[in-house]
């Protein structure tokens, strides 16, 4: 979808959207439009009990006095509560209402309400950002969709006081949206299309943005001693890969050590020999959402030319059962030299990350490591689908992520780490086992396992099992793959690690 910016003036074609504050507060443009239509907006709001609360939508059809076939009123709530996220969700709400409406063009009047802390330029840019995010659809395999259900909206123009400044502010957000879309695309693809080799090939496209991409095959990983990662993939006809993506954007005077992001990329997870129930197994195509988020983040950072050195490392495997598959009770040796007793082959993501984290720490000596993984169903039991769980050896990193999550709407909640939990993965046969006591602190146990492979590097594990996929539309996120993590981490890098 094309997003552009223009002067705050009545458009000559297409639908018009107007922002409305608390208690039906219209700005100058909105009041003029109400007057032109003979008070149609005021009457419609009163009749529909529309109050202007955030994301509230009201369509006014065939108004007199203007060429538009409809005017859409979108609530922004109390002016003092308005944030960038409020503006994004308003833009998303309008696009959601009109995407398949038959309208092809939309103009959104970005009127900053009195008393709002958000600036006019930022408000316009964030409205455009939200509109683009909500326009996403993964429909490439729909060959017989009725015309009336297909997206018709092609162009959104944000009407604002300073189009040039708003367009400039939107530039970085546009690249961020591209990164989110890449993640959503990767996570949405079926496992017969995205598997370790084809995922690695998709990563090669980032070279066009200036990202250095290196792919390690089985031979290279065996030489490095990545027995934990390779063990997960040995039952699949699809060979595993480790992809290393590097963006070098730090200025000369900056700390040259990279920021490191590591993703779990199990492109399909049957559970292996510890096979999952058949019901719902198709959802395991998105068990690579951590790797998808890291890839989208690298695209976003490179796209907006982030002033930081960043490395993204993703471990890509397919976990399948066959005659060569890893068995419960097998013992593997990780790249770190630590041995792991595999008691459950469905606790495979931590094995992949064990080698990916150790490789990243050893190879790059990063300033920090943050890994993303759909690691445990237990995190959904704890936090549902509203927050991702974070586990960290660094209070500073955990606090920064928590604060950034509130700004971006990608919420996280810190969970505990403790030596008391660590004892639960001690093994009598090896250095550790890959699961703890059944039914007890499953998410924490997974994090305790990962902590054994991060050395002394400041580290955060983000368990996105509950947030990587949504079964309902939310704000700027259509149902399906959410792209969770890209906005969160891009914002944290921008606020704390650039320059």
Exposed / middle / buried, residue 100 (Cβ in 10 Å: 0-12, 13-18, 19+): middle
Distance CA 483, CA 130 (A): 14
Nearest 5°: the CA angle 407, 408, 414 is 80
Q: Which one-letter DSSP state was computed for residue 474? A: B
CA 434, 436, 437, 440: dihedral to nearest 10 degrees? -130
Distance CA 436, CA 178 (A): 39
Active-site option among 285, 304, 350, 433: 350
DSSP string, 238-254: S--EEEEEEEE---TTS
Distance CA 492, CA 126 (A): 17
Distance CA 306, CA 247 (A): 9
Q: Does the annotation count 49 as an active-site position?
A: no
Distance CA 190, CA 17 (A): 36
Cα dihedral sign, 195-196-201-204: positive
Residue count of the chain = 499
What distance lies between CA 309 and its chain's CA centroid? Answer: 21
Distance CA 118, CA 435 (A): 47
Q: Kindly state the tokens that stand for 231.
A: 């063990």
Q: Where are the alpha helices (DSSP H) in 206-337?
A: 218-224, 227-233, 289-303
Biggest alpha carbon distance in the chain?
81
Q: Does the annotation count 276 as an active-site position?
A: yes
Nearest 5°: the CA angle 129, 293, 280 is 110
Distance CA 188, CA 478 (A): 12
Active-site option among 155, 276, 367, 407: 276
407 Cβ contact list (under 8 Å, min separation 6): 83, 84, 85, 491
Active site amino acids: 276, 350
């Amino acid at each position: 979808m094309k997003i552009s910016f223009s002067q705050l003036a009545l458009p000559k074609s297409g639908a018009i959207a107007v922002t409305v504050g608390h208690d039906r507060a219209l700005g100058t443009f909105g009041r003029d439009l109400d007057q032109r239509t003979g008070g149609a907006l005021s009457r419609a709001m009163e009749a529909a009990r529309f109050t202007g609360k955030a994301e509230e939508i009201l369509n006014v059809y065939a108004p007199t006095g203007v060429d538009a076939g409809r005017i859409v009123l979108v609530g922004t709530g109390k002016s003092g509560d308005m944030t960038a996220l409020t503006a994004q969700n308003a833009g998303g709400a309008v696009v959601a209402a009109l995407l398949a409406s038959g309208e092809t063009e939309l103009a959104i009047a970005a009127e900053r309400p009195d008393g709002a802390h958000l600036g006019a330029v930022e408000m316009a840019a964030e409205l455009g950002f939200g509109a683009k995010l909500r326009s996403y659809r993964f429909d490439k395999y729909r060959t017989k969709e009725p015309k009336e259900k297909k997206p018709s909206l092609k162009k959104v123009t944000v009407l604002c006081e300073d189009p040039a400044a708003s367009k400039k502010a939107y530039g970085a957000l546009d690249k961020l949206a591209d990164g989110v879309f890449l993640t959503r695309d990767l996570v949405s693809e079926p496992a017969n299309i995205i598997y370790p080799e084809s995922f690695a090939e998709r990563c090669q496209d980032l070279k066009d943005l200036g990202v250095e991409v290196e792919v390690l095959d089985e031979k290279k990983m065996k030489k490095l001693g990545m027995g934990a990662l390779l063990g997960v993939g040995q039952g699949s006809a699809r060979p595993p890969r480790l992809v290393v993506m590097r963006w070098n954007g730090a200025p000369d005077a900056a700390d040259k050590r990279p920021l490191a992001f590591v993703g779990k990329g199990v492109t399909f997870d049957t559970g292996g020999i510890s096979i999952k129930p058949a019901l719902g197994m198709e959802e395991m195509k998105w068990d690579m959402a951590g790797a998808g988020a890291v890839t989208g983040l690298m695209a976003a950072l490179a796209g907006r030319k982030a002033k930081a050195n960043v490395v993204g490392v993703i471990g890509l495997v397919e976990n399948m059962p066959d005659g060569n598959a890893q068995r419960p009770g097998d013992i593997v040796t990780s790249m770190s030299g630590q041995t792991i007793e595999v008691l459950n082959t469905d606790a495979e993501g931590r094995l992949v990350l064990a080698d990916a984290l150790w490789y990243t720490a050893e190879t790059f000596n990063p300033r920090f490591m943050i890994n993303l993984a759909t690691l445990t169903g237990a995190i959904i039991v704890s936090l549902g689908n509203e927050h991702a769980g974070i586990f960290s050896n660094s209070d500073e990193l955990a606090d920064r992520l928590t604060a950034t999550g509130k700004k971006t709407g990608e919420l996280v909640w810190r969970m505990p780490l403790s030596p008391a939990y660590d004892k639960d993965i001690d093994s009598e046969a090896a250095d550790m086992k890959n699961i703890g006591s059944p039914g007890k602190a499953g998410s924490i146990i997974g994090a305790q396992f990962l902590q054994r492979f991060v050395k002394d590097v400041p580290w955060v594990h983000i368990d996105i099992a509950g947030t990587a996929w949504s079964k309902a539309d939310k704000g700027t996120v259509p149902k399906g793959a959410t792209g969770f993590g890209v906005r969160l981490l891009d914002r944290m890098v921008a606020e704390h690690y650039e320059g």
